[in-house]
Chain A
Amino acid sequence: MRSEKTSGRLVVVGNGMVGQRFVEALRSRDTAGRWQVTVLGEEARPAYDRVRLSAFFDGVSAEELNLHRPDDGVDLRLGEPALAIDRDRRVVRTGAGEYRYDALVLATGSYPFVPPIDGVYVDAGPDAPGPTPRLRPGVFVYRTLDDLAAIRDFAKGRRTGVVIGGGLLGLEAANALRLLGLGTHVVEFAPRLMPMQVDEAGGAMLRRYVEELGVTPHLGVATTAVRSRPDGGLAGLTLSDGGWLPADLVVVAAGIRPRDELARAAGLELGERGGVRVDTTCRSTTDERIWAVGECAAVEGVCYGLVAPGYAMAEVVADRLVGGTARFPGADTSTKLKLLGVDVASFGDAHGRSPGSLDVTFVDPATRVYAKLVLSDDAKTLLGGVLVGDVTAYPTLRASVGGPLPGPPLALLAPSGDGTGTGAGIAALPGSAQVCSCNAVTKDQLVGAIAEGCRDVPALKECTRAGTSCGSCVPMLKQLLADSGVPLSKALCEHFDHSRQELFDIIRVRGITSFSRLVAEHGRGRGCDICKPVVASILASLGNGYVLDGEQASLQDTNDHFLANIQRDGTYSVVPRIPGGEITPEKLIVIGEVARDFNLYTKITGGQRIDLFGARVEQLPKIWKRLVDAGFESGHAYGKALRTVKSCVGSTWCRYGVQDSVGLAIALELRYRGLRAPHKIKAAVSGCARECAEARSKDFGIIATERGWNLYVGGNGGFRPRHAELFAADLSTEELVRYVDRFLMFYIRTADRLQRTAAWIEALDGGLDHLRSVIVDDALGLCAELDAAMARHVESYTDEWRETLADPDRLRRFTSFVNAPDVPDPSITFEVERGQPVPARPDRRPVALGLPTRMGVTN
């Protein structure tokens, strides 16, 4: 047995999904930092999620697809492809220099295969050197973000697109062309779509779905030539059956080939069908210092074009490089995907190639579901299967391959209706079954993580990585949590057994207007700092008037109670509303004068307004008197309520703007001001796709298009940043406002306490699609109610500070001491920092900053 090298210089060629995973796996194992890692990447971008590549056309940005995590211990060199390997000197050469290695890992991936079709290349033809000779204009491959961006740009103003290849990638490309507004055709040499994954009957079902979406399949034919128009533009394709297909744009998605040219030139043995030939430890059969992982590797001669086997290889090599003994166990080539809105899954021996295997088939033309299970000759062991239309059973079935059936076949296949599709399935799975095949996480590992304290799906994801890639196993994670008896109590606190949503409905339906009645009839005790603000918020959302009248005052957190934000020293900050961030010089001067006269620390906020700090409670009414007189009103920075609607300057001034973003932002901010909610709500409007208002980081964000507005929902910054997702496109202002009205009211009614919109949408059964059906299609018949509720809010809004100032009883609360209202709190003192007052703290010496002092200096 060879002794493994476990330290030195490590060069990784390729920063795709698998290359990135390898580096992360190695770094997490190599805690002593024995390997000095250099990564060479051909693309200018660091690793991104190629599995979700098509999401780019749904508005998902390159940043969101990013998989790269910064690591100071890794020298990442992007846009610097490896040009040659000198095995004798053990160096990798690039355009910038040479990198010595003690171990070399090839993770070069694959390139799109372009069949030898007449006229597909600019000049040289298919025999030109290199993996990607130049395709003629109008012909594209579907592999990188740059490819997708080029397709999007070229598609503008064109009518017809053809995809060559009806496999997985081809159908994704077809959907992309459809979304770009092209009439779309698919040419596939095999007699069915997705020939690698589904059988004939599944292919037929798939074809019906695809045709209904307006995509025309041409099956059992090959493309023979790409023809030009007299002016040089693309005319169309000739087909092997003599047919002619006009086309303005062609995407070739006819499969992939391993990127093995570096290995070939270096004299490494290759697989029969290409790829760097490696053994089951992923080490080259020619050179023991060289390893290969992912699509460029031929493990015992076999290449795998899926990410899960690539990840498994990455883990094997990382283990080996720190002295481990891992081996590649063979691959799970199961796939589940949503293509053109159709769910398709295949797993195990999907084609029934095992000797003596039996098929169980389920076809329902009404619901258009096709399912097939492949069983062993004694019908006891599950070998594989195909699902089209409804894939809810996929996670359970996939994890059961090679083991006993988790239930009677038809019960497993018939649509379950409960959304999980796992039924008793997961309980029947053996502990060694892989629940997450992308990250090779077994049921035993998940059960262990739950026993160690993981209490929800995010915790399980964090702890085990299960569910972090394709996400198809998330329903199983939920089921495991439920089965393990983790108490998922919905009780708000010890005083109520109800969730916030249930309390909302109780209060609304029974017309309850006081906490005392609610807690007497539906709870116990006298409440706490959790349930009281929740009830206060619900009462406010239901329009019970001024938030500090009568008993409601006792429910409010100190911020709502003093209509200001408490700070660490017990003083408060004041934020007047500046709708859309637009303010006149006169009003700006008033803010400046108030800040100066009351000695307030002044700072611009992220929401395009101004925060004034250091006000004592008894100063608040005096400060607000000045602000209200100048036309300001409460900014609700203290409330779980709408904060701001941020905007860029828009078409009024900006040479790129296509709509009046400031005008819309102001209108929306005025419409929703004062709206109390389960958590704060932030919004923004951008006047063009450049998105200067950062609308996609908001609970609702609006981006102008040439035809109207795109509405995004569910974004936030904070502890766990999220990008808002596209809810609806090209809306008129009227449609937009209607959708936002309903979105907000539905959120207010159904979200949990302190649940931002992103988490709320994630927790909704059916997610964003469900939300759309409620808001756009009125699936729950709620829209009229939601619209009326918002209309009541808009009509009944009044400025809380103006009302407070008008009432001496209300003003009485703003006293320092009940028996000495003229004495300010003596504990509040300030010091000056950068010309402004800040809380004086004995432990804080801002002036020193570690500078040498003259005292005690001796020479």
Chain B
Amino acid sequence: MTLDATITDGLRWTVVCPYPRLEPERGVAALVDGEQVALFRTYDGALYAIGQRDPIAGAYVMARGIVGTRGDIPTVASPLHKQVYDLRTGECLDVPGVAVPTYRVRCRAGLVEVATPAVSRPMADVGGAR
């Protein structure tokens, strides 16, 4: 795969897709530097990126959850068993102590970019090796 990436402040910013490719209140999965990332666009247009792996079920499905709010918190619910996560912090709001990783995400020149640490991990750490 050929992906555009720039390195700023020790972060590797990977271009993922044009902004309009994201539907409001729906997620997509992306492969960023070998990691599975779930990207969301909320109703107000803001972008969030969290780990694609559901930490409770162990499957890579978070991008397929329903996006909404709890109070003022933007959320996504796991599509498998509906635990709700804070899109900003990755914290699970239903099960204390459970969280998904979060990633920095931005929109530049109409393109959505996700940041990972500049030193990437080898592919073998990804995916099937659960």
Interface residues of A, Cβ cutoff 8 Å to B: 494-495, 516, 525-529, 532-533, 551, 553-558, 561-562, 566, 568-570, 815-820, 822-823, 825-829, 840, 842
Contact = CB atoms under 8 A, between A and B. Distances in A.
A556 B69 CA distance: 15
B128 A829 contact: yes
Contact of A528 (B3, B21, B75): B75
A818 B60 contact: no
Contacts of A529: 65-66, 68, 77, 82, 84
Interface residues of B, number: 44
A42 B28 CA distance: 67
B25 A554 contact: yes
B30 A526 contact: no
B68 A570 contact: no
Contacts of B24: 551, 554
Q: Chain A: interface secondary structure?
A: loop
Given A551-B24, A570-B61, 19 more contacts: A494-B71, A526-B69, A528-B69, A528-B75, A553-B23, A554-B25, A554-B66, A557-B66, A561-B64, A570-B60, A816-B29, A817-B31, A818-B17, A819-B30, A820-B1, A825-B60, A826-B127, A827-B60, A840-B128
B108 interface: no
Contacts of B130: 827, 842
A393 to B, nearest CB: 45
A683 to B, nearest CB: 28
A823 B31 CA distance: 9
Nearest to A516: B43
Contacts, number: 116
A554 B36 CA distance: 21
Contacts of B64: 558, 561-562, 566
Contacts of B77: 528-529
Contact of A494 (B36, B70, B80): B70
B1 A823 contact: yes
B116 interface: no
A570 B66 contact: no
Contacts of A561: 26, 64
Contact of B66 (A528, A569, A820, A829): A528
A554 B67 contact: yes
A592 B69 CA distance: 44
B72 to A, nearest CB: 8
B17 A570 contact: no
B102 interface: no
B64 to A, nearest CB: 4
A570 B59 contact: yes
A700 B53 CA distance: 40
A570 B60 CA distance: 6
B39 interface: yes
A640 to B, nearest CB: 14
A516 B3 CA distance: 36
A305 B29 CA distance: 70
B43 to A, nearest CB: 5
Nearest to B29: A817
Contacts of B31: 817, 819-820, 823
A555 B70 CA distance: 16
A528 B60 contact: no
A818 B1 CA distance: 12
Q: Rank and list the top 3 A-B pairs by shortest CB-CB distance, nearest first.
A: A826-B127, A570-B59, A558-B79
A732 to B, nearest CB: 45
Contacts of B128: 826-829, 840
Chain B CB within 10 Å — which of A818, A820, A840 has the most?
Answer: A818
Given A529-B68, A816-B29, A825 B82 contact: no
A825 B66 contact: no
A344 to B, nearest CB: 50
Contact of B68 (A527, A556, A842): A527
B30 A557 contact: no
Interface string B105-128: 000000000000000000000111
B109 to A, nearest CB: 16
Contact of B84 (A516, A526, A528, A566): A528
Contacts of B17: 818-819
B68 A532 contact: yes
Contacts of B3: 819
Contact of B25 (A494, A526, A568): A526
Given A568-B59, A818-B39, A528 B68 contact: yes
A818 B30 CA distance: 5
B59 to A, nearest CB: 4
A568 to B, nearest CB: 7
Which of A516, A558, A569 lies at the interface centre, i.e. has the most chain B CB atoms within 10 A of its CB? Answer: A558
Contacts of A817: 28-31, 36
Tell which of A554, A558, A819 has the most Cβ of chain B within 10 Å. A819
A569 to B, nearest CB: 5
Nearest to A524: B69
B16 interface: yes
A818 B60 CA distance: 14
A811 to B, nearest CB: 14
Interface in B31-52: 31-32, 36, 39, 42-43
12 contacts: A526-B69, A526-B74, A528-B66, A528-B75, A554-B25, A556-B66, A557-B66, A562-B64, A568-B80, A570-B61, A815-B28, A826-B128
A123 to B, nearest CB: 71
Contacts of A826: 126-128
Contacts of B61: 558, 566, 570
B38 to A, nearest CB: 10
B73 to A, nearest CB: 10
Contacts of B71: 494, 525
Contacts of A495: 68-69
A825 B127 contact: yes
A568 B59 CA distance: 7
A464 to B, nearest CB: 31
Contacts of B74: 526
Contacts of A555: 66
B19 to A, nearest CB: 12
A822 B1 CA distance: 9
Nearest to B79: A558
Contacts of A827: 36, 53, 59-60, 127-128, 130
Contacts of B29: 816-818, 825
Contacts of B79: 557-558, 566
Contacts of A566: 61, 64, 79-80
Contacts of A528: 66, 68-70, 75, 77, 84
Contacts of A840: 128
Contacts of B30: 817-820
Contacts of A556: 66
